[in-house]
Copies of this chain bind each other. A is one copy, B any other.
């Protein structure tokens, strides 16, 4: 059991983050042999190449935790039509120093939630470009442009009935994607 360990990166660090809630609700839709753990990003310093070889503990922790993952689930809020600074900062820390990119080869899924009718589509476009250079096989469809509405989550934090089928389908594809790349690369 729990053969596949998925690192979850939520790009927003506020307490009541919608994307945090979505991450938790998605995890409950996963197959029994999948487990999820968070990559903490709110205590990371701003990435500075001068400190790259002597990283503080928070950076070392991030790198260890990425390395242990069988896959990565990225929850991308949209700030100013791109991913958040905190999200990008964590990605940069994990990719360095040169030649020690911990993200390489990890199968990834991208999804994001916002009150906008667009979900976080524009941020996700940028994120796809970034994950490509990191050498992360990134699931294509279904696109995860989720627009918040009353009832998206039920009172227990599960996905509500109107979005259950879509997000269960998303998780089914994502778990198949992780298995495919986990077994072979």
Tell yes or no: A118 within 8 A of B by CB: yes
Inter-chain CA distance A122–B42, complex, in Å, is: 27
Q: Is the CB of A133 within 8 A of B89?
A: no
CB-CB under 8 A for A130 and B80, given A14-B50, A44-B46, A122-B122: yes
Residues of B within 8 A of A158 (CB): none
Task: Give A42's nearest chain B residue, CB to CB.
Answer: B46
Task: Kindly list chain B residues whose C-beta atoms are within 8 Å of the C-beta of A185.
Answer: 180
- The answer to whether A133 touches B129, judged by C-beta atoms less than 8 angstroms apart, is no
Give 10 new A-B contacts, CB below 8 A, not counting A83-B88, A135-B140. A47-B84, A80-B130, A88-B89, A117-B118, A122-B125, A129-B129, A131-B140, A133-B140, A133-B143, A137-B137
The 10 closest A-B pairs by CB, nearest first: A85-B89, A117-B117, A135-B141, A85-B88, A118-B118, A46-B86, A14-B49, A81-B133, A132-B140, A14-B50
Show 27 A/B contacts (Cβ-Cβ < 8 Å), sorted by A: A12-B49, A14-B49, A46-B46, A46-B89, A79-B95, A80-B133, A81-B125, A81-B129, A82-B82, A82-B83, A85-B91, A86-B89, A88-B88, A104-B141, A118-B118, A121-B121, A122-B125, A125-B125, A128-B132, A129-B129, A131-B140, A132-B138, A132-B140, A133-B141, A137-B137, A180-B181, A180-B184
